[in-house]
Amino acid sequence: MEHVESETNDYYLAVGGQRVRVRYREGVGIPLVLCNGIGASLEVLDPLVENLDPTRPVLRFDAPGTGESPTSPLPYGFPYLAWVLGRILDRLEIEVVDVLGLSWGGALAQQFAFQNPRRCRRLILVGTGTGAIMVPGNPKVLSKMVTPKRFSNPSYGATIAAQLYGGVVREKSEQIADLFIRQLHAGSFKGYMHQLMAGSVWTSLFALPIIRQKTLIIAGTDDPIVPMINARVMNALMPRATLHAHGGGHLDLLVDAATFGPVVDDFLGPTKPYRRKWSKTADVKFTPGG
């Protein structure tokens, strides 16, 4: 893939009672919003971004209590967080987006698509399920996710990576340590608990037939956290879904990004100019990097 330099800026936006760090790589056409897995900062998504079409605009962010976004004062649910994401897009004057959600972020992506049917063009769900009502993973594996220790201690994360994530990681567990070391801050324990709580009281099972966006579901047959059956259920319930099954695990999207970047690009289609319909907000000032 030919390398094209694209301007990337960090913004710290106060929206909906939160202060959220956002990283936006400018490009051509409809931006792709990336919703990260639980406890992870936006740097963990670097491998995927580096393997996407370099002309594609990409927006990612630290959820409250992860990376450089301060912890939310109160617990929150996915409907609220989807609303916050919408306000972030407003501030950046972005009208229509494609959304990719990985694991926990897949729940947020589903919620955003449900709440914003005209604003979300296409949806990509990776290693995710329907929330509280789904087929759970191995209890011994899930017990290792009760705390964010694997992020704060990358060496520990590498020792449990094969059992936790499966797939390519079984042979390349050291890459997980490298991935988590990218994080500037691992986030707070309280922020991690808020994310766990949000997932524990949410389900999309009954809303899936209403999500009309063209959807790509990427799921691995060797995913100990989210068994493949969940992807098949979602594929059956979503009217415009396509299932991309692979033999890997939970984090192959990142650890084997050279394979999955083109899969994402093919689904989204080529980049092309998009005519903005919203008027610019004259009183909004952005400060890159702070």
Phi and psi based region of residue 29 (left: phi greater than 0; alpha: psi -120 to 50; beta: remaining): left
CATH number of the domain that residue 167 is part of: 3.40.50.1820
Residue 45 inside a domain? The answer is yes
Taking the CA atoms of the chain, what radius of gyration do you get in angstroms?
18
Which residue numbers are catalytic?
103
CB of 28 closer than 8 Å to CB of 273: yes
Residues 131 and 190: their CA atoms lie apart, in Å, by 20
The domain containing residue 21 runs over which residues?
10-268
57 within domain boundaries: yes
Instruction: Estimate the share of the chain in helix, then strand, then coil, as percent rounded to the nearest 5.
Output: 40, 20, 45
Q: Is residue 95 part of a domain?
A: yes
Cα–Cα distance between 281 and 197 in angstroms, integer?
35
Region 1-19 average pLDDT: 81
pTM over 0.75: yes
Domain count, the chain: 1
Backbone φ and ψ for 185, nearest 5 degrees, come out as -140, 140
Give the integer Cα–Cα distance in Å for 267 and 260. 11
**169/158 Cα distance (integer angstroms):** 9
Digit-coded pLDDT (tens) for 32-76: 999 999 999 999 999 999 999 999 999 999 999 999 999 999 999
241-246 sheet: strands from edge to edge:
8-15, 18-25, 58-61, 32-35, 97-102, 120-126, 214-220, 241-246
Kindly list the distances between the CA atom of residue 197 and the CA atoms of 11, 81, 171, 181, 217, in Å, as whole numbers in the listed order: 27, 13, 32, 26, 24
Is 112 a member of any domain?
yes
Give the residue from 40, 19, 22 showing the smallest Cα distance to 31.
Answer: 22
**Amino acid sitting at position 234:** M
- 66 belongs to a structural domain: yes
- Give the tens place of pLDDT for each residue, 225-273: 999 999 999 999 999 999 999 999 999 999 999 999 999 999 999 999 8
Q: Using alpha carbons only, what angle is made at residue 196 by residues 137 and 157, rounded to the nearest 5 degrees?
A: 65
Q: Is 82 a member of any domain? A: yes
Identify whether 239 is part of a domain: yes
Tokens of 23: 């990283």
Return the higher-pLDDT residue of 221 and 3.
221
Q: Would you say residue 149 has pLDDT above 90? A: no
For residue 278, is it within any domain? Answer: no
